[in-house]
């Protein structure tokens, strides 16, 4: 006689299956994570390779024209004419950009632009000790400046107020909202070109400038590098200029250290992609190229 009883899974069997699936997931997830990270690293390396070619073309054109523009802050916009897309300037692993999961949020395309006060000192168009940023939307924000004075300002952050709007075509509109200080302010581009002279005369007006965001930093010594030099040209970095080597260096990598002790721009599993002036490219730990080490600074950073 055939039994009509239906057999189902017991609780023990269900728990056993769940345990096995959990074990398999635990084994496969790290491999999957490493695979995705490797893909981002390769995409980043491809970007740096193309930017390196653009730099070589730029240098060749400079030699031909006998006019050698200085590459520094804002270099991404200068090299963009040799690239087919501004997306090449973005590392796939840079948090803040679509698809990014690690590293530092993308910097503003206004990198290198400053407000100059009386020709004496500059105030960068970014948040800092004397600049406050107030978000209005995902693409608009207010910058409030407290001008620097020998006796200290009143810290009301109303001395100069600018509005920044990131436009859909990649450009940026800068509007002069108000000025309460009597100082002479001028808006300068990354190449020190005067974009607006005496902002007092432009309150209520706007200017639209080109904007190129980048995930990479160019060696501050680039002006002295030869194309075939075995020195660092570009690398994953939180600023568009890596000013970290030499007696006047401004960057301190400890400021970007995360809980692992490594700078957060080592976004590829503790390594960062590094492009050398000779065209070679390697994924290196920041320890391997530490500019605070005199020997490594001389080998990798200084001309």
Among the listed residues 157, 132, 158, 156, the one whose alpha carbon sits nearest the alpha carbon of residue 143: 132
Q: Which of 23-37, 74-88, 276-290 has the highest mean pLDDT?
A: 276-290
Q: Which tokens belong to 267?
A: 């976004």
Provide the CA 244 distance to its chain's centre, in angstroms.
Answer: 15
* CA gap 44, 50 in Å, rounded: 10
Residue 191's pLDDT is 63
pLDDT above 90: percentage of residues in the chain: 37
Residue owning tokens 């200080």:
181
| pLDDT value for 70 | 56
Q: Categorize the per-residue pLDDT at 141 as very low, low, confident or very high, splitting at 50, 70 and 90.
A: very high
User: Each residue of 174-192: pLDDT tens digit?
Assistant: 999 999 988 889 998 766 7
Phi first, then psi: give them for residue 108, nearest 5 degrees. Answer: -65, 150
pLDDT of residue 20: 82
181, 202 contact by CB (below 8 A): no
Listed ranges 55-59, 89-93, 133-137; the one with the highest mean pLDDT: 133-137
Quickly tell me which residue has 């300037």 as its tokens. 89
Confidence at residue 52, expressed as pLDDT on a 0 to 100 scale: 92
| Other CB atoms within 10 Å distance of the CB of residue 153 | 14
Contact, 270 vs 264, CB < 8 A? no
**Predicted local distance difference test score (pLDDT) of residue 127:** 85
Residue whose C-alpha is closest to residue 83's, from 110, 55, 104, 103: 55
Q: Is the pLDDT of residue 218 over 70?
A: yes
* pLDDT attached to residue 44: 95
φ, ψ dihedrals at 165, nearest 5°: -125, 120
More confident residue, 268 or 32: 268
Question: Measured between alpha carbons, how far is 77 from 64 in angstroms, rounded to an integer?
Answer: 20
pLDDT of residue 65: 52
Q: CA 7 to CA 15: how far, in whole Å? A: 17
pLDDT at 169 exceeding the cut of 80: no
Tell me the C-alpha distance between 273 and 289, whole Å: 11
pLDDT at 103 over 60: no
pLDDT of residue 12: 76
Q: Which residues contact 250 (CB under 8 A, 6 or more apart)?
A: 243, 244
> How many whole angstroms separate alpha carbon 288 and alpha carbon 19?
42
Average pLDDT over residues 30-48: 84
Contact 71, 58 (CB under 8 A): yes
pLDDT exceeds cutoff 90 at 45: yes
Residue 207, C-beta contacts closer than 8 angstroms, at least 6 positions apart? 173, 174, 187, 195, 196
**Position of tokens 């005199």?**
294
What integer pLDDT is reported at residue 98 of this predicted model?
Answer: 45
The chain-wide mean pLDDT, for the chain, equals 82
Instruction: Compute the C-alpha angle 89/90/91, nearest 5°.
Output: 125
pLDDT above 90 (res 144): yes
Whole-number pLDDT of residue 67: 45
Cβ neighbours around 36 below 10 Å, total: 13
Looking at residue 99, what is its pLDDT? 45
**In the chain, where the domains are located:** 42-105+214-301, 114-209
Provide the pLDDT confidence category of residue 143 given band limits of 50, 70 and 90.
very high
pLDDT score of 172: 86
Ordered alpha helix ranges (H), the chain: 11-65, 75-79, 294-296
């Amino acid at each position: 006689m055939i039994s009509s009883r239906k057999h189902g899974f017991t609780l023990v069997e269900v728990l056993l299956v769940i345990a096995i699936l959990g074990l398999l997931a635990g084994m496969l997830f790290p491999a999957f994570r490493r695979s995705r990270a490797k893909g981002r690293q390769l995409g980043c390396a491809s970007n740096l390779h193309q930017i390196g070619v653009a730099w070589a073309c730029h240098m060749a054109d400079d030699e031909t024209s006998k006019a050698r523009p200085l590459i520094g802050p804002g270099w991404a916009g200068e090299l963009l004419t040799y690239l087919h897309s501004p997306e090449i300037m973005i590392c796939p692993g840079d948090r803040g950009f679509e698809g990014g999961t690690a590293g530092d949020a993308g910097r503003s395309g206004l990198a290198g632009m400053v407000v100059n006060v009386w020709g004496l000192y500059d105030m960068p168009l970014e948040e800092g000790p004397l600049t406050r940023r107030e978000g209005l939307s995902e693409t608009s924000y207010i910058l409030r400046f407290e001008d620097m004075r020998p006796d200290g300002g009143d810290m009301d952050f109303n001395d100069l107020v600018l509005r920044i709007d990131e436009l859909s075509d990649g450009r940026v509109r800068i509007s002069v909202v108000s000025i309460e200080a009597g100082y002479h302010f001028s808006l300068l581009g990354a190449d020190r070109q005067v974009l607006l002279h005496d902002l007092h005369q432009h309150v209520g007006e706007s200017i639209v400038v080109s904007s190129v965001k980048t995930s990479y930093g160019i060696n501050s010594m680039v002006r002295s590098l030869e194309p075939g030099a075995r020195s660092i040209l570009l690398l994953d970095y939180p600023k568009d200029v890596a000013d970290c080597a030499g007696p006047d260096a401004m960057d301190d990598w400890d400021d970007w250290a995360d809980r692992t002790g490594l700078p957060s721009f080592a976004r590829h599993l503790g390594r960062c992609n590094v492009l050398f002036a000779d065209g070679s490219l390697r994924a290196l730990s920041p320890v391997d190229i530490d500019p605070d080490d005199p020997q490594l600074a001389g080998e990798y950073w200084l001309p």
